[in-house]
Amino acid sequence: MLDEGAPLFSQIAERLSEEIADGALPEGERVPSTNELAAYYRINPATAAKGINVLIDDGLLEKHRGIGMFVAAGARQRLLDARRKRFAERFVEPMLAEATRLGIDTDALVALIRDSIHAEGGIRV
Amino acid sequence: MTPAISLTHLTRRYRDQLALDDVSIDIEGPSITGLLGPNGAGKTTLMRIITAQEFATAGQVQVLGVSPIEKDAVLRRIVFVREDQAFPDFTVRQLLRAASWFLPNWSSGLAQTLLSEFEVPSNRRIDKLSRGMRSALGIVIGLAARAEVTLFDEPYAGLDALARQHFNDLLLADYTGHPRTVLLSTHLIDDVADLLERVVMMDHGRVVLDAPADDVRGSAVIVSGPVMAVEDFVASRFTWGRRRIGSHESVVVTGVFDDSNRARARALHLSLEPLSLQQVMVHATGRDVEGLKGRTSS
């Protein structure tokens, strides 16, 4: 069972995108078929197909007729670029909102982040 | 394409009671549609009319392009499994053999597989089966029939959670190999929600909602937080189910929420919690659901 809320087809698309971005589904790899996804997630096959189609329309998956669906070249990089663009909105802004609520000022927040990074031994990219 | 099931202005009146009130639905196949609604909403009556076991007071019913009334050729392409289905005084094996004579797409291989999956003993007389086993037997027949139009009325009666999930998996597995038009009525909406492509919600004999399941799922959220902020946020939207405690309020709101709405909710310290299909139905039955209709009509 998937999370409630977002339409199921977009949750399927999101799941597959995550796997591509993480490298679990490398470029050129075959992705599960509509029926395989439907059986695994226990959802209607039409819904699974709709999710796959989102990724095909975005050029992240390529359909090879009669063989299946494959991760397109450059898909991972494009997903990572898109995620970087959304980083501020998804992580930084909520943090700032909470900091404001708690009365943590700019200097304290920056110090906190620096300390956390230091404790982790730096961010390795 | 001809819809698998087409109902036009269907009305069914029993003496002073209106069981169906001007119901019009077209269901295209292959698809899995959920027929949802409280007891007495008219779901069973609707299915009985589709299968010509009962007749409409007014309106038209067409199945696979023709009226099913006294049309053996069409009725053989339909299977209807009722809640607490009455069975003849047979053993399980005899019943399945009889089913194979009347149902042209019958798969005895699938029937055998399903029987052992649900652990229904084929030598046992049907009247000696438990309620859950009788439900399972109904499911075996409904699936093994592979009928072009497959109707299940509350197929889960007496089944435990494990058997219900089992039924869902088997339905999905056989449906992908043999697509057909499935109409499924149930109270246990969250159990089947993800299998459904479309939901038809009934209340007091009328269709109160008819939309793709995905649209309904995303169609309403519970907004909660400080009263002022909630009121500010929901200002121009259709709302219901307002609840308040102290200075905290929660309200159900219809509509789509994009990233900018979400950012604004965050800034106002509001939480947005989407309603499940079951919750939407509970909120929608017996109420004015104009907001939902506006959102989902396309």
CATH number at residue A36: 1.10.10.10
Same domain, A12 and A63: yes
Sequence letter at residue B3: P
Q: Do A46 and B197 touch (CB under 8 A)?
A: yes
- Closest-approach residue (CA) in chain B for A45: B176
- Closest-approach residue (CA) in chain A for B278: A4
Helix, coil or strand: residue B4? coil
Q: Within its chain, how far is the Cα of B87 from the centroid?
A: 24
- Indicate the Cα dihedral angle B84, B86, B92, B96, nearest 10°: -110
Q: Do B173 and A8 touch (CB under 8 A)?
A: no
Closest CA relative to residue B32, chosen from B222, B186, B249: B186
Same domain, A68 and A90: no
Q: Do A42 and B267 touch (CB under 8 A)?
A: no
DSSP secondary structure string for all residues of B145-212? T--SEEEEESTTTT--HHHHHHHHHHHHHHHHHS--EEEEE-S-HHHHGGG-SEEEEEETTEEEEEEE
In 3-state terms, chain B is what percent helix, strand and coil (to 5)? 35, 30, 35
pLDDT above 50 for B78? yes
CB B210 within 8 A of CB B31: no
Taking the CA of residue A85 and the nearest CA in chain B, the distance in Å comes to 14
Gyration radius (Cα) of chain A, Å:
19
Average pLDDT in chain B = 88
Per-residue pLDDT band at B297 (split at 50, 70, 90): very low
**Residue A79 belongs to a domain:** no
User: Model-level pTM?
Assistant: 0.82
pLDDT above 90 for B76? yes
**Residue A62 belongs to a domain:** yes
pLDDT above 90 for B120? yes
**Residue A18 belongs to a domain:** yes
Sequence letter at residue A41: Y
Per-residue pLDDT band at B50 (split at 50, 70, 90): very high
- For residue B286, what pLDDT is reported? 55
- For residue B273, what pLDDT is reported? 85
- For residue A5, what pLDDT is reported? 58
- For residue B291, what pLDDT is reported? 45
CATH code at B282?
3.30.70
Q: How far apart are CA B111 and CA B116, in angstroms?
A: 9
Q: Do B274 and A42 touch (CB under 8 A)?
A: no
pLDDT, one tens digit per residue, over A38-96 is 999 999 999 999 999 999 999 999 999 888 999 999 999 999 999 998 898 888 988 99
Same domain, A65 and A112: no
Average pLDDT in chain A = 90
Sequence letter at residue B236: S
- Domain span at residue A93 reads 86-119
- Closest-approach residue (CA) in chain A for B276: A4
Interface test with A, best of B28, B170, B196, B214 (most A CBs within 10 A): B214
Q: How far apart are CA B74 and CA B166, in angstroms?
A: 30
**Assembly ipTM:** 0.73
**Residue A1 belongs to a domain:** no
CB B256 within 8 A of CB B292: no
Edge-to-edge, what's the strand order for the sheet holding B239-245?
A: B239-245, B248-254, B220-226, B271-274
Q: How many domains does chain A have?
A: 2
Same domain, B132 and B257: no
Taking the CA of residue A78 and the nearest CA in chain B, the distance in Å comes to 20
- For residue B66, what pLDDT is reported? 95
Q: Do B194 and A2 touch (CB under 8 A)?
A: yes
- Closest-approach residue (CA) in chain B for A93: B263
Question: What mean pLDDT is predicted for residues B201-209?
Answer: 90
Same domain, B241 and B280: yes
- Domain span at residue B31 reads 5-214
Cross-chain CB nearest to A8 (options B176, B194, B267): B194
Q: How far apart are CA A68 and CA B33, in angstroms?
A: 28
